[in-house]
């Protein structure tokens, strides 16, 4: 059985490093560093994001509210998600959140009467499932190689959390369709992904060789960009698949399910050998589901459409 302190370390890393960000700042967004953002009763904004600041929502936020540190106080309406990473979230009695409520390493204070239509994902900052994180951090000091692993994992999880937020918010229907196909067509998706990865590897090697005569540089660059796009969408679809599998009996949004799936996959990735094999299988599945579903736009890209037979000629 895994040592309790090691398990505490792994969970601490996962819950403290899930973050999200906006793909771009649009009209109506409020983004700042250690600022105080107030959405008054008669005011409407698209998104509100702060790093170490305070957010007070008395009016309406059409999309999401995100805080890294600081506080979030909601007495008005949020159309999508409220996400706090190491932040204190306070829901007044009049608060309405039509999407998900996510608190990672922070606290949630609730007054009777609030409403959350989506999922609530809550991981306390000091203790998870009876495991004291301070004990885990003390055990961390006894492993000389842990700081390097922690830094790498923190950066990796943080980046994937940003990508999950962007993809799940911009393409929720595509992520849902692709994630659903994994359960229905696991082996065809696995085969497609394995074949695609083999072909992609050979193409990259061929393009790298062509770089000796310069013509391969733009080809290699295009392959890298295409590979990143396929990997990102495929991984987000897989995160949604794992999260939705645990929340099948409850109403779950693509964002909430994908964030939960990210936690699960990140935790398994810490297990020696098993984590590496698990990541390899996920890479194959990610490529397969992205290509087979054409980025979540069809159930099977390769399925031939049946043409109805022509009507028989009349005498």
- Mean pLDDT, range 280-287, rounded to an integer: 92
What's the chain's length in residues? 315
- Mean pLDDT, range 21-49, rounded to an integer: 68
pLDDT bucket at 305, cuts 50 / 70 / 90:
low
Burial of 228 (0-12, 13-18, 19+ CB in 10 A): exposed
Max distance between CA atoms of the chain, in angstroms, equals 91
- Which of 78-87, 180-189, 229-238 is predicted with the least confidence, judged by mean pLDDT? 78-87
Asked if pLDDT for residue 74 goes beyond 50, the answer is yes
3-class DSSP assignment, residue 309 = coil
CA 230/CA 295 separation, integer angstroms: 8
- Mean pLDDT, range 103-111, rounded to an integer: 85
Cβ pair 126, 104 in contact under 8 A: no
Burial of 254 (0-12, 13-18, 19+ CB in 10 A): buried
List the structure tokens of 254.
């693509």
- Which of 140-149, 150-159, 160-169, 208-217 is predicted with the least confidence, judged by mean pLDDT? 140-149
8 vs 300, residue with greater confidence: 300
CA 46/CA 78 separation, integer angstroms: 9
The model scores a pTM over 0.85: no
Residue 132, H or E segment:
strand 131-132
The neighbour count for residue 225, using CB atoms within 10 Å, is: 10
CA 57/CA 81 separation, integer angstroms: 13
pLDDT bucket at 80, cuts 50 / 70 / 90:
confident
Place of tokens 């490093």: 17
List the structure tokens of 159.
């980046």
Q: Kindly state the percentage of the chain with pLDDT values over 70.
A: 74
pLDDT bucket at 190, cuts 50 / 70 / 90:
very high
pLDDT digits (tens, 9 = 90+) for 223-281: 889 999 999 999 999 999 998 888 776 666 888 889 888 988 888 877 777 878 888 99
């Amino acid at each position: 059985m895994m040592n309790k302190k090691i398990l505490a370390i792994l969970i601490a890393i996962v819950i403290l490093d899930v973050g999200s960000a906006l793909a771009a700042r649009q009209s109506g967004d409020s983004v700042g560093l250690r600022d105080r953002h107030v959405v008054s009763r008669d005011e409407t904004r698209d998104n509100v994001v702060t790093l170490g600041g305070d957010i007070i929502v008395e009016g309406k936020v059409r999309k999401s509210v995100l805080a890294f540190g600081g506080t979030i106080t909601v007495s008005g309406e949020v159309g999508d998600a409220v996400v706090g990473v190491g932040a204190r979230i306070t829901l007044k009695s009049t608060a309405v959140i039509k999407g998900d409520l996510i608190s990672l390493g922070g606290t949630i204070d609730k007054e009777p009467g609030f409403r959350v239509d989506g999922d609530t994902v809550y991981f306390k900052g000091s203790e998870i499932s009876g495991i004291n994180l301070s004990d885990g951090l003390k055990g961390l000091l006894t492993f000389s190689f842990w700081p390097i692993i922690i830094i790498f994992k923190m950066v990796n999880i943080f980046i994937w959390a940003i990508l999950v937020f962007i993809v799940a918010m911009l393409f929720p229907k595509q992520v849902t369709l692709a994630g659903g196909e994994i359960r229905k067509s696991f082996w065809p998706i696995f085969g497609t992904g394995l074949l695609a990865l083999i072909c992609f590897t050979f193409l990259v090697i061929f393009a790298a060789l062509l770089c000796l005569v310069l013509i391969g540089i733009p080809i290699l660059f295009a392959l890298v960009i295409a590979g990143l796009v396929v990997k990102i969408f495929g991984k987000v679809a897989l995160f949604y698949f794992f999260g939705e599998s645990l929340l099948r009996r409850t109403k779950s949004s693509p964002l909430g399910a994908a964030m939960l799936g990210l936690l699960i996959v990140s935790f398994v990735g810490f297990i020696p050998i098993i984590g590496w094999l698990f990541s390899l299988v996920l890479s194959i599945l990610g490529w397969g589901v992205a290509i087979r579903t054409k980025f979540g736009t069809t159930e099977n890209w390769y399925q031939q459409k049946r043409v109805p037979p022509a009507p028989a000629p009349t005498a």
